Copies of this chain bind each other. A is one copy, B any other.
């Protein structure tokens, strides 16, 4: 059952009506974030019903001890856990002595949530009758400022509807929070100081082990009918929290408004002993501007984001809402300001997957950020891995690879591996390939080669070295083989010669050798520096080449396809369509061994390689492989449908492409996997963007040109998207009649549409 309670709306996510059993799901869907922090849509006032509290600070994590049944050498000592941070949103409300609580009140009506994606704010409004008969109308509006990214702002309005009432409002901070996934009752935060000053208050705390210092702060002002109360609040503190209390008699029809500015200052950005004063600086700025002006800034800042990244869809409001939700969430999660941060699979919307960095960033997110931001953002994403190169070399050493070989971690916070299942950590080594591919992809898209001599080549050398050491020569096959890997299809473990991994390994070596030549010729001093630093030799690179030139690729003569891995044809090749529906999703219905020996594919594996290296294969090749593998693909990874949508579109199968698109675009809004309460699938949202731009729009970079082969799903009247191509903004509009290309920039550029060259002048619009 899909939830299906989100109202279709082009610019907003809207929920109407209060249902206790969807509170946790809505807390995910209405999450807000600003790249530096994030907040689930928890209620400000006390709620005794089922809820999943979540306030997250970018880059703040906890290294939880790895615990496994049988410890295997090489396991990381910890896995990273994203931490629920101290609560900054809380505002308790007590009305004639009764605490406002939507779980225990007499009735709730006109409950409505809106996440306004165009302007970047979240609002919740409702009317409530308390057990004591008092009726209130509440409206709470909040946002995380894009401009002051340490600041959250809340305006909480209480109108008394039926009688004169004593209302007590209590804005508070609370560091007595827990993690949903804390199995072992570990404590994650140490609170060191709680203080207050008039209408401001502060909790200073740091995380255990990692010792991240955080000051959680707030300032509150309360207004009766728009006029600020003159008395200062009474302040109460206990060991873990601080609360300001304002008590006021409110006449029938009158409105009491709390404006709370709050958030975190973190010692990633400030000295530890200056966190409190930094908080005061933020509060001073915010106070000077006030809630309304801050809200104005917020609208303007989101306006700028949309200007560059919006996709419009005509004739399908749900599709429109879906794609905007995806673009909105990606921008809430990562804005490219800080190359120490990255994009966790759940962003700031839940705890799962540890908020850490996966290969999702390079394989799925980079294209989105390259095309919708200035190239500095993509550079930041690449630089993140460059900063982690030493750790990747250490990681490879832990697994027995010397000589500067680099194995990037499967999951990381700080460059160290922090995932602890051998079949993933030790074997899903294809991630190294995605990181190299991103360097190639960045150059291809931006035309900027400077990253390679400056940083990228060192990364490539570490990666090439890893592949060279990771293969072994099979006397039996007289080829180099890669034994014991897990491919992108995680429904196979410890297989031999996963085609995708073998292909990437060969490509990485070839690409690195090419870049070495190019840098040697064109950036001699960089080359010398790197050659010396990495102690490279021509004997070593000759050894690499031997591996690349003699890599084994499993192939079936019968089916004329590369095999996903050795022995794939031994499986019982029953197609997904012939599986009883009751057997699916197999990851919920089947035991692991059954999944492993089945032919079922979690997400694109061979086809992921065909996606990356499209130009290495003919359309006929693609068709044969798509026809062979897709029927065994269960798409139980959120990252699967997008690649298939792009390839189906390429093969002219628009109906199928559209079906795949639907699976990815409203995955969370319609809760296909019945798990949205755990948080949103952030990284796969970039895949949705790719489905439209690369799939329907057919955008590619080839011959150093932006190229399009636009198509449109039957269900749509028109769609448009924007591409920032080397600082020129191109708006592409596609409808049933054709496509239009409008350039806003300062240079003439040439693009290809359906393989025909089209010249575009700045300001000009060309219809094809």
Contacts and interface: CB of A to CB of B under 8 A. Distances in A.
A566 B567 contact: yes
Contacts of A138: none
Contact of A591 (B66, B73, B473, B589): B73
A79 interface: yes
B592 A472 contact: no
A581 to B, nearest CB: 16
A428 to B, nearest CB: 10
A570 B476 contact: yes
A400 B593 CA distance: 10
B420 A592 contact: no
Contact of A483 (B399, B400, B497, B570): B570
A79 B70 CA distance: 12
Given A69-B420, A73-B591, A566-B570, 11 more contacts: A67-B183, A68-B69, A73-B589, A73-B592, A74-B594, A400-B590, A422-B592, A475-B569, A477-B570, A493-B494, A494-B495
Nearest to A572: B472
A68 to B, nearest CB: 7
A377 interface: no
Interface in A246-278: none
Contacts of A68: 68-69, 421
Nearest to A419: B69
Interface string A406-422: 00000000000001111
Interface residues on A, range: 35 or more
B591 A472 contact: no
B70 A421 contact: yes
Contact of A593 (B74, B183, B567): B74
A573 interface: yes
B399 A594 contact: yes
A535 interface: no
Interface string A570-608: 111100000000000001111111101100000000000
Given A570-B477, A596-B484, A591 B74 contact: yes
B67 A593 contact: no
A593 B497 CA distance: 14
Contacts of A472: 570-572, 597
B183 A572 contact: no
Interface of A: 66-70, 72-75, 79, 183-184, 398-400, 419-422, 424, 426-427, 472-477, 481, 483-484, 493-497, 566-567, 569-573, 587-594, 596-597
Q: Among the interface residues A67, A399, A590, A597, which one has the most CB atoms of the partner chain B within 10 A?
A: A597
A488 to B, nearest CB: 16
Given A472-B571, A481-B570, A494-B493, A427 B69 contact: no
B399 A72 contact: no
Q: How many copies does the complex hold?
A: 2
Contacts of A483: 567, 570-571, 596-597
A77 to B, nearest CB: 14
Contacts of A593: 74, 399, 422, 426-427, 484
Contacts of A70: 421, 424
A739 to B, nearest CB: 44
Contacts of A426: 591-593
A421 B75 CA distance: 15
Contact of A590 (B73, B481, B589): B73
Given A70-B421, A483-B597, A591 B398 contact: yes
Nearest to A497: B570
Contacts of A66: 69
Contacts of A566: 566-567, 570
Given A590-B400, A596-B484, A596-B494, A474 B569 contact: yes
Contacts of A183: 67
B592 A72 contact: yes
A331 to B, nearest CB: 30
28 contacts: A68-B68, A69-B419, A69-B421, A70-B421, A73-B589, A73-B591, A73-B592, A74-B590, A74-B594, A184-B184, A398-B591, A399-B591, A400-B591, A400-B594, A422-B593, A426-B592, A472-B570, A472-B597, A474-B569, A474-B570, A474-B571, A476-B570, A483-B567, A483-B597, A484-B596, A484-B597, A496-B570, A567-B567
B572 A72 contact: no
